[in-house]
Copies of this chain bind each other. A is one copy, B any other.
C-alpha cells in the first residue's frame, strides 16, 4: 500500500461473498480517505464544504435510519393489529379499523362493554347473522383457522419465492455480519420489503412468535440500504458495520420502546466492534426511532409498546425468594428451549423435513390455531396477553384476571388491598396454565421455520404466565395466611402486599434472560418498560439467577447456538479461551505436512505464480526474501494477485508468462533480452501480523478478536514457519470444546 502514484486497479481491496473482512485494512483505508479529505479541505471552499458534509453525514445517516425504522415499526404495529383482529371479524363502520378503534368511534357503547359495539361484526354475524349458539362458534372457529392458514401460507410463500434470507429472527446472522463476515443480500432491499410484509403476516397468523427480533433485522436492512447514499459508508465494510450496530440499537429501541436498553443490547449482544463514537450515534438513532414511532402512536396510548406499565406499589425483601424461584424457572426454560429447539432445527437440516417448509409452516399454524381458539388467552395476540399479565388490577378492570371478591370494596380511598380470588380468577388460572403448556411446546417448533419469527415475545409470555400464576398464588397465600411468620411482619390484613403484575414482569425478564443470556440490557429494557428504579433489584435478582442456572446447563445463548448450528465463522468475544495450546499446535502446515506455500520477493515468474494459484486454494500467500532464509517480507491476497496479473496481461505491454514478478522497491537486475518485469508491491501488505510459534493460543485468540484479523503468520526465531487463519482458530476452539471442527463452514 505504499505506491500511491499508481492507479488503483478496480476490484483490488474488495471481498467475495461468504468471506471475512480484514478490519485492520478497512480501518486503515478509511483513515486514508479521511486524511485526504482533511488535507484537501484547506485548498478550496468547495472542498471545505465537502469535508464538513462528510463529517456530518454520519449524523444525517443516523437520523434517516431512526426515521425509517421508526416508521416501519409503526406500520408493522398498525397492520399487525388490524390483521390480527381480521381473524375474528370486521368493522362495518370502516374496514380499516381494528376492533378497538372500531368501537372507540362507536356511539352505542358503554364503558363496561367497551369491546362490544354494533359496528364490529364477527364472522358468524356476517355470514349467518348471529353470534350465539354452537353453529356461530364453529363458523368463527373455522374462519379463525382459515385466516391464520392464509396469512401463514402467504408469509412462507413470499419468503420462499422472493427473499429466502427474510426468515428467522436474523439476529444470529447480524451478529456474524457485524463480526466481519460478508453475506450479500442479507441486508438488501428485497429482504427488507419481504421481511416487513411477511412479519406482519406471520404475527397476524397467531403463531407463537414475536416481531422484536425481526425488527432488529428490518432496522439493519434500513441501515445497510441507506449506507448506499453515502460514499463514506458504501465503500468501507468497517464503517458500514458501525452504522449497522447503531441500526440494531434503533431496532430494539422501537421493539421495546427502550432507547437506552437498545443501545446496551447492541453493545452487549450484537456488536463486535463498538467504538465510543458509535455509542453516541447509536443513542441518537435509537432516540429518533423511538420518537418517530411515538408520533405515529400505533397503540393510541402514546406509549411505544403495548405492555408498558407504571407500578408504584413497593415490594418486600422476602419477595426475593419467589423472584429467585422465577429466575430458576427462567433458567430451566431457557436451557430446555435451547436444547430442544436446536435438536429440532438440526433434524430439519438433516432430514426430509427441511425440503417442505410450506407444509411445515401450514401444519404448525393449523395446530396452533386449532388449539388456540378455544382459550381466550391463546386466542389474543401474545403482546396483548403480556400486557394483561403485567397489568395490576385497578378498580375498573373488567378482565377475568381481576375478578376478585369484594372488588369494589376499597378500604382506603382508591387503594386496592389484597383480596380473595373470585371465580373468574380461578378459571383464568386454569386457562393460563394451559396457555403456558401450549406456548412452551409450540414455540420450540415455531422458532426456526421459514418465516420471520422473533423469540422475545414468546419467551416473555412464558415467563409472564408463570410469574402471574406464582404472583396470584403468593397473594392468596398472604391473604389467607397473613399471620404466618413470613408474612406477619410486613403484611397485615387488608393491606396491598403482593402485586401479581410485578411477578409477571419478573418472570418475563427471567425467561428472556434464560433464552438470550442478556444481562444489563435486559434489566435496562425492563426498567424502561416500568420506569421505576425500585424494581431493578427484583429484575436483577431474577435475571442473574436465570443466567446462572441456564449457564450451568449449557454455555450458549440461543443466538450463539444458532450461529454454531449454521456454522457461521463467528469468534465469540465473551468467552475466554481457556486451553493451554500454542500457536504451533494450530498453524498450517502441521508437522509432517508439506512446507508452507510462499512466494519469493523477486525470483518468481508469472507462470510460477499462476501455477501456485491454480494448485492451491489458499486465500493469500506470504512473500519471503528467499526460500532458503524464509525471512518474511509481506503478505499478498489471492484475489488481489489474480486481478493484478490479469490486469497486467491485458494492459501492460509485454508481460508474458516468463515475466518475473517482483515485490521489492526496485526491479531486480535482469539479464538482457528478458521480457519486462511486473511490479506488484502495491498489492503487498507490508505489515502482516506475526506471532512466534511459542505464543499461547489464548493470546492469539485475543489478537484475532481485538484487532479483527483474517490471518496471522507464525515465525520461529525470525524465520517464517506457518500461518493461522480465522478459520483455523475457530476450528481449534471447536475442537477444544469437543465439537466437530468441520462444522465451521466458511472462511
Which residues of A does B touch, CB under 8 Å? 2, 24, 27-28, 31, 34-35, 38, 259-260, 263, 268, 275-277, 279-280, 283-284, 287, 290-291, 519-520, 523-524, 527-528, 531, 533, 536-537, 540, 544, 573-574, 576, 578, 580, 583, 625, 629-634, 686-688, 690-692, 694-696, 698-699, 702-703, 706-707, 715, 717-720
| A686-B690 in contact (CB<8A) | no
Copies of the chain in the assembly: 2
Q: Given A35-B578, A260-B260, are A287 and B703 neighbors across the interface (CB < 8 Å)?
A: no
| A694-B2 in contact (CB<8A) | yes
- Of A544, A634, A686, most buried by chain B (CB within 10 Å of CB) is A686
CA distance A283 to B35 in the complex (A): 39
The 8 Å CB contact of A28, one of B537, B686, B696, is B696
Q: Given A283-B520, A528-B533, A631-B718, are A687 and B707 neighbors across the interface (CB < 8 Å)?
A: no
A536 contact set on B, CB distance < 8 A: 259, 287
Expressed in whole angstroms, the minimum distance between the Cβ of A600 and any Cβ of chain B is 12
- Of A2, A520, A706, most buried by chain B (CB within 10 Å of CB) is A520
Q: Given A578-B34, A718-B715, are A687 and B691 neighbors across the interface (CB < 8 Å)?
A: yes
The 8 Å CB contact of A578, one of B31, B291, B625, B688, is B31
Chain B residue at minimal CB-CB distance from A277: B574
A578 contact set on B, CB distance < 8 A: 31, 34-35, 38
The 8 Å CB contact of A698, one of B31, B290, B695, is B31
Tell me the dominant secondary structure on chain A's binding face.
Answer: helix
Q: Given A276-B268, A578-B35, are A694 and B687 neighbors across the interface (CB < 8 Å)?
A: yes
CA distance A576 to B35 in the complex (A): 11
Expressed in whole angstroms, the minimum distance between the Cβ of A282 and any Cβ of chain B is 9
CA distance A2 to B695 in the complex (A): 10
Chain B residue at minimal CB-CB distance from A280: B519
CA distance A28 to B634 in the complex (A): 29
| A717-B276 in contact (CB<8A) | no
A688 contact set on B, CB distance < 8 A: 692
CA distance A260 to B522 in the complex (A): 12
- Top-8 shortest CB links A-B: A631-B718, A687-B695, A686-B694, A706-B706, A280-B519, A718-B718, A631-B717, A687-B692
Expressed in whole angstroms, the minimum distance between the Cβ of A331 and any Cβ of chain B is 16
The 8 Å CB contact of A287, one of B268, B537, B706, is B537
| B523-A283 in contact (CB<8A) | yes
A283 contact set on B, CB distance < 8 A: 519-520, 523, 540
Give 24 pairs: A residue, B residue, CB < 8 Å, sorted on A. A28-B699, A35-B578, A259-B533, A259-B536, A263-B520, A275-B574, A276-B574, A280-B520, A283-B519, A283-B523, A287-B537, A625-B717, A625-B718, A629-B718, A630-B718, A686-B695, A687-B691, A687-B692, A687-B695, A687-B696, A687-B699, A690-B690, A715-B718, A718-B718
